[in-house]
Structure 1
């Protein structure tokens, strides 16, 4: 009797996860909960921490925990995820050390013009120093964003 071995195609997994997504990089000196509070207040979002999708990276003998906040739009099946990119001396995406937070929009409702409008609104939020649109295809450690 032969045993069927299944191999996970990581490249396909990454492509599927990032299909219909937009990723924003946010620079701020404030904590994650403070930034989310200001975003919720000014953009009428409802980011809440979701400990069940927190990302844990093991490096050497330590584990690093990266909290994720999320909210879902009721009207258009779009999910928003707010990642903390920094934990102690480690980064979720080491190639983006200048970015403290990442905002991922998942769903095909948002068009580039909607994302541009969101960027402009985010720039007006207190505690946010810089916001930029990131190209997920150029992020080499994007597998770290998959929960």
Structure 2
């Protein structure tokens, strides 16, 4: 009797995870906890580190751990995730080496205009040097963002 092998459909997994999402790239020399504190103080987004969402990548027999901060808006059914894009000399999304943090908004509540307003507000946060909206279709390693 042969064993049944199940194969994970990564394309479907990626498509499902990124349905109704927006992604912003943030350039900041601040540490992740400092940026999180500043986002709470200035924009009232109380991000908290979620160790269960930490992303582990293994390259060249070394493990790298990427911190993920989370904030839930239950009244809007929206989740916000702030990813650290680098750990030591490795990157969560290698094609975005100039980006320090990634802010993923997951849920139907925010439309393009809302995200544009948030991007503008982020540009005024003290520790933020640059913010840009990212096109998920142009990101090759987006599977790395799935926890």
Structure 1 segments of 4+ aligned residues over 4 angstroms from their partners: none
Task: State how far apart, in whole Å, the 2-side matches of 1:56 and 1:47 are.
Answer: 20
Name the counterpart of 1:31: 31
Structure 1 segment 100-119 matched on structure 2, within 5 A: 100-119=100-119
- The CA deviation at 1:2 is 5.5
- The CA deviation at 1:74 is 2.5
Task: State how far apart, in whole Å, the 1-side matches of 2:6 and 2:65 are.
Answer: 29
- The CA deviation at 1:137 is 1.2
Unaligned runs of 5+ in 2: none
Unaligned runs of 5+ in 1: none
RMSD over equivalenced CA pairs, Å: 0.9
Higher mean displacement: 4-13 or 130-139: 4-13
Structure 1 segment 1-147 matched on structure 2, within 5 A: 3-147=3-147
Task: State how far apart, in whole Å, the 1-side matches of 2:40 and 2:71 are.
Answer: 10
Task: State how far apart, in whole Å, the 1-side matches of 2:6 and 2:145 are.
Answer: 23
With normalisation by structure 2, the TM-score equals 0.97
Task: State how far apart, in whole Å, the 2-side matches of 1:56 and 1:92 are.
Answer: 9
Aligned length: 147
Say which SS state the counterpart of residue 70 (structure 2) adopts. strand
1:83-127 Cα deviation digits (max 9, x unpaired): 000100000000000100000000011000000000000000001
- The CA deviation at 1:5 is 2.7
Task: State how far apart, in whole Å, the 2-side matches of 1:130 and 1:17 are.
Answer: 26
- The CA deviation at 1:3 is 4.2
Task: State how far apart, in whole Å, the 2-side matches of 1:81 and 1:5 are.
Answer: 33
Say which SS state the counterpart of residue 65 (structure 2) adopts. strand
- The CA deviation at 1:43 is 0.7
- The CA deviation at 1:38 is 0.5
